[in-house]
């Protein structure tokens, strides 16, 4: 049903709509999914991406519409509102249609921009869960990304404190990372201007490596881009191992594979590969 978007705020519309929201098991039947293809998560559900893709492997591909970057109007009509409107409009015309949107960041949600759930009658529900971390995918990306940075800085600390022989006894070889040529920074799910450029490792030789560093918002991580294009877990693991985190003093790239951390990063993101089922 439609609500009066002139008289009602977005949160009031979502609250009213959520009272009539279908359960994940209603959607499971309506979408023709197997019970083992839906993973319950509170009143939400994740879709088992690999099971569904494998089952539908012989089905012909559908049509794909890309809603690209849009500067929102003062009323908030941007990418998500346009996407939701397209989904609802095509659905109204009897098309079998779904959409894929990204989860909103905590920073803009708590900022003047607000939650990126769409607006009016063209928004994703349940709004609160959607805006407040959903099923934890951004947190998983943040942990996987920062794990690489922890490994990098720890490696730089060890190489500063130990000789090649001492490193070899620990099964390590010197990567000789150039501290002035570190590509990667840290990520946090907020717009923290004071952390954009920092100096870390000031505590002493056992408290990390002293160097300039930086923070960005979590969804700017290369891991976010990787997550949007991977075909399966093997593809995810392969791409995570090719991330350049820094360069050595000879100018050669130092990757997550060199740090032997890509497998652990992939473990953090196993669940994040599965999309969360939302409704409009």
CATH number, domain of 147, equals 3.30.1510.10
Q: What is the pLDDT of residue 114?
A: 67
Shared-domain flag, residues 150 and 126? no
Of 135, 160, 183, which marks where a domain is finished? 135
- Tell me, yes or no, whether 280 lies in a domain: no
Shared-domain flag, residues 235 and 155? yes
Shared-domain flag, residues 110 and 162? no
- Tell me, yes or no, whether 170 lies in a domain: yes
Q: What is the pLDDT of residue 109?
A: 75
Shared-domain flag, residues 25 and 70? yes
- Tell me, yes or no, whether 103 lies in a domain: yes
- Tell me, yes or no, whether 278 lies in a domain: no
Shared-domain flag, residues 122 and 169? no
Burial of 20: CB neighbours in 10 Å, binned 0-12, 13-18, 19+: exposed
Q: Output the tens digit of pLDDT for each of the chain's 280 residues.
A: 788 888 888 889 889 989 999 999 999 999 899 999 999 988 889 999 889 989 998 999 889 999 887 787 777 678 888 888 898 899 999 998 988 888 888 777 777 666 777 778 888 889 888 888 888 899 999 999 999 999 999 999 999 999 999 999 999 999 999 999 999 999 999 888 899 999 999 988 888 899 999 999 998 999 999 998 998 899 999 999 999 999 999 999 999 999 999 999 999 999 999 999 998 8
How many CB atoms sit inside 10 A of residue 19's CB? 6
Q: What is the pLDDT of residue 92?
A: 92
Shared-domain flag, residues 119 and 149? no
Of 135, 150, 183, which marks where a domain is finished? 135
Q: What is the pLDDT of residue 154?
A: 93
Which range marks the domain in which residue 25 is found? Answer: 10-135
* Tally of domains in the chain: 2
Q: What whole-number distance in Å separates Cα of residue 210 and Cα of residue 146?
A: 17
Shared-domain flag, residues 63 and 165? no
Q: Give the CATH number of the domain where residue 32 resides.
A: 3.40.50.300
Shared-domain flag, residues 145 and 91? no
- Tell me, yes or no, whether 202 lies in a domain: yes
Q: What whole-number distance in Å separates Cα of residue 38 and Cα of residue 44?
A: 10
Shared-domain flag, residues 157 and 76? no
Q: What is the pLDDT of residue 113?
A: 67
Shared-domain flag, residues 112 and 172? no
- Tell me, yes or no, whether 67 lies in a domain: yes
Q: What is the pLDDT of residue 158?
A: 93
Q: What is the pLDDT of residue 174?
A: 94
- Contact yes or no for 75/119 (Cβ under 8 A): yes
Shared-domain flag, residues 78 and 98? yes
Q: What is the pLDDT of residue 102?
A: 84
Shared-domain flag, residues 209 and 187? yes
């Amino acid at each position: 049903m439609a609500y009066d978007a002139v008289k009602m705020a977005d949160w009031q519309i979502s609250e009213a709509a959520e009272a009539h929201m279908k359960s994940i098991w209603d959607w499971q039947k309506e979408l023709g999914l197997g019970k083992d293809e839906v993973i319950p998560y509170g009143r939400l559900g994740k879709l088992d991406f690999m099971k569904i893709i494998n089952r539908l492997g012989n089905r012909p591909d559908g049509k794909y519409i890309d809603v690209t970057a849009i500067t929102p109007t003062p009323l908030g009509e941007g990418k998500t509102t346009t996407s939701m409107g397209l989904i609802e409009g095509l659905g109204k015309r009897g098309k079998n249609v779904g959409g894929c949107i990204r989860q909103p960041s905590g920073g803009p949600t708590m900022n003047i921009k607000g939650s990126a759930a769409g607006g009016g009658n063209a928004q994703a529900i349940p709004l609160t869960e959607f805006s407040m971390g959903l099923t934890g995918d951004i947190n998983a990306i943040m942990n996987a990304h920062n794990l690489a940075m922890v490994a990098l800085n720890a490696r730089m600390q060890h190489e500063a404190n130990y000789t090649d022989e001492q490193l070899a006894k620990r099964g390590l070889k010197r990567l000789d990372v150039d501290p002035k040529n570190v590509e990667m920074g840290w990520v946090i799910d907020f717009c923290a201007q004071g952390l954009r450029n920092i100096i870390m490792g000031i505590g002493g030789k056992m408290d990390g490596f002293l160097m300039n560093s930086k923070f960005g918002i979590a969804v700017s991580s290369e891991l976010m881009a990787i997550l949007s294009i991977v075909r399966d877990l093997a593809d995810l693991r392969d791409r995570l191992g090719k991330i350049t985190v820094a360069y050595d003093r000879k100018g050669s790239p130092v990757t997550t594979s060199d740090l032997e951390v890509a497998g652990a990063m992939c473990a953090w993101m196993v669940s994040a590969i599965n999309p969360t089922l939302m409704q409009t």
